[in-house]
Amino acid sequence: MHILVCGGAGYIGSHMVKMLVGEGYEVTTFDNLSTGHAWAVHGGRLVVGDLLDEAGLRQLFAAQSFDAVMHFSAKSLVGESVRQPAQYYRNNVVGTLNLLDAMRAAGVKRFVFSSSAATFGNPVADRIDESHPQQPINPYGETKLMVEHVLRDYAVAYGLHSVSLRYFNAAGADPDAALGEEHDPETHLIPNVLKAVLDPGRGLKIFGSDYPTPDGTCVRDYIHVHDLCRAHLQALHFMDREPGAHGFNLGNGRGFSILEIIRAAEQVTGTSIPFEWQPRRAGDPPVLVADATLARTALAWQPAFGNIQQILETAWAWHRKPAAGR
């Protein structure tokens, strides 16, 4: 099978490309390299292009036949989406519509979509399963939910088969430390915690100390990037036997607060990690924890990295590597 991976030079997408190549798939990465890195594409072919370029998409699908598409390309910063919603709707929604139209014209019928727990908004249950109301509280979450709605309609009208995978907090690095999380600027908690160890002068900021949680900081469900990628592979097999549009939540089912992550990172690194408090960021729910029972049963998916220590250890191994060659 030949898989097109849109956003395959980014954090999760590059891990997906590496896994697909390792499993014997033919892979083409399509990425505009605005936040991704060419060095992160381990195997297959890299095509530099943008989903907002309809002519470029037509050329891509005319030049090569694909069996399925995995879509990781998106702007994904919650705070930025609140400040600049136009960019998010244009990039995440219009870009995806362009991709889906190019797939339709080429007769490609299978699509795995990188969605988000941000589609749920503020939780009304301790664990969020697929029946939980989807009521986003920021434009980023709205864009992901809009695409999920589009996929349901495209399944009915055009026979497009899709699986939307709603990540909770992606974390960690490739177990062999060949890939890891490398954003500029970096906004995710775990890499910022570890970078504060490697460069004490950079400082660590924690946004919000007054959330309605046990220690006042946000609680999140952290899922290893390798486990997320494995779920994408399982989704390909799932579509072989289940047509239509489907959505699954992906998480470990346990939440950790920001302060708990910092304490766990101190154990992994053997270093005390100072930080400074900052006001809350707009659009951040207090708690997001997954109930991934449906993914475990329907996709036959089981996370291999079940505790936060394992996840932090893989990330720490990556961040300690010299940056040269990245």
Domains of the chain by start residue, with CATH: 2-171+223-250 (3.40.50.720), 189-220+253-319 (3.90.25.10)
Whether 326 has a pLDDT exceeding 80, the answer reads no
Cα 166 from Cα 51, distance rounded (Å):
21
| pLDDT tens figures, 272-317 | 999 999 999 776 778 889 999 999 999 999 999 988 999 999 999 9
Instruction: Give the model's confidence band at 324: pLDDT under 50 very low, under 70 low, under 90 confident, else very high.
Output: very low
Alpha-helix residue ranges (DSSP H) falling in 242-273: 258-269
Closest listed residue to residue 172, CA positions, set 115, 226, 249: 226
Cα 315 from Cα 303, distance rounded (Å):
17
> How many residues would you count in the chain?
326
Element (H, E) at 110: strand 110-116
**Peptide bond just before 185 cis, omega within 30 deg:** yes
> CA quadruple 14, 15, 16, 19: dihedral positive or negative?
positive
Cα 230 from Cα 248, distance rounded (Å):
13
Whole-model pTM over 0.85: yes
**Which residues is 231 bridged to in the sheet?**
none
What's residue 72's pLDDT?
Answer: 98
Please say whether the beta carbons of 52 and 98 come within 8 A.
yes
Q: What is the mean pLDDT of the chain?
A: 94
Instruction: Give the model's confidence band at 87: pLDDT under 50 very low, under 70 low, under 90 confident, else very high.
Output: very high
The answer for 103, left when phi > 0, alpha when psi is -120 to 50, beta otherwise, is alpha
Hey, is 224 helix, strand or coil? strand
What's residue 283's pLDDT?
Answer: 67
User: What count of other Cβ atoms lies within 10 Å of the Cβ of residue 203?
Assistant: 12
Closest listed residue to residue 196, CA positions, set 269, 293, 107: 269
Instruction: Give the model's confidence band at 51: pLDDT under 50 very low, under 70 low, under 90 confident, else very high.
Output: very high
Please say whether the beta carbons of 311 and 254 come within 8 A.
no
Cα 252 from Cα 228, distance rounded (Å):
11
Catalytic residue flag (residue 211) = no
Catalytic residue among 11, 88, 140, 154: 140
Hey, is 215 helix, strand or coil? coil
What is the longest distance spanned by two Cα atoms in the chain?
Answer: 56
The answer for 33, left when phi > 0, alpha when psi is -120 to 50, beta otherwise, is left
Please say whether the beta carbons of 164 and 247 come within 8 A.
yes
What's residue 242's pLDDT?
Answer: 96
Give the CA distances from residue 217 to residues 153, 224, 237, 274, 306, in Å, rounded to whole numbers and listed in that order: 38, 21, 39, 15, 22
Closest listed residue to residue 232, CA positions, set 307, 170, 154: 170
